[in-house]
Structure 1
Amino acid sequence: MSLIIRPAQPSEYDAIAQLWMDSWCSTGLESPSEALLTYLKERLPREMANGWSLYVTDDDGELAAMLAVHVPKLYLDQLMIAPAHQGRSLGRRLLAFTRELLPDEIWLRCVRENEKAWRWYEREGFVFEGEEVEPSHGRMMKYYRWRRPTENA
């Protein structure tokens, strides 16, 4: 396994949308569908135009994960791992990469029902900041923040 984190290419957007759907649906919170895949395919270029930096983890030509970060907003927007690559510490590697991009502070949000994800972020040092309903889909979102530890702490 030779994993490389690199910027995504526009020619990969359809494959990234498929990976995104597969990862999201592996949580059990939604079922795969053509409607969901179409939505994600349409969302990728829109998010890129709105400031996303999009990365993929390439495993010898196979996409293993996607990472979307909005650097000016200090925001980790998406960290999705293909089901076949889950459980191999790839999330930790992508989070370390994110901390290189955003070394002082990172914000993110998780769907409240995705307990596996938010518990993992808590173990990785993120602090719960609050929750609110996301109007676009009606799900309750948990908001988290990580700050670089100070030298005196």
Structure 2
Amino acid sequence: MSARSDFDQIIGDVTAAIIGRALDQNLETYLNKAYPAAGGAFRTLAKACEAGIAEGWLCNREHGGIRFGRIIKPSPTSGHFSVDVVLMDNIVGPHHRHPNGEIDVIMPLDPGAQFDGRGAGWLVYPAGHAHNPTVTGGKAIVLYLLPDGAIEFT
């Protein structure tokens, strides 16, 4: 399989498993158990993201030292989630709010790299959460699923 087909398959599996679920701590716990950072699906997704960045179909834009890009728009096929991927290296991103919440997949490229204080794994923010996305300790890829693609930069 190609990196893109691996990427699409795993994202499809994840979104199918979480359709209709509340974005809360229970979902975060579920995702970290069902798709653990040390597991095959997570590792395959991380490798697909690395390949996608190298091949230019992921993170094909850059602003303020952050590479980013929306790879999947919200649709019935994606469970009404958009899928965006960012590549950040010891940087604080622009403040924004998630009116419908956010699901993050944190994939450190450097040992000790963290996103918003968290290492490899899944992080779920509830509806209304606002933050400055921050990567410390090195470089990390962060994939995020946004219900209906909703994000408000402040």
TM-score (norm 2): 0.28
Tell me: higher relative CO, structure 1 or 2? Use CA pairs within 8 A at least 6 residues apart.
Answer: 2
More strand by share: 2
More helix by share: 1
Whose radius of gyration is greater, 1 or 2?
1
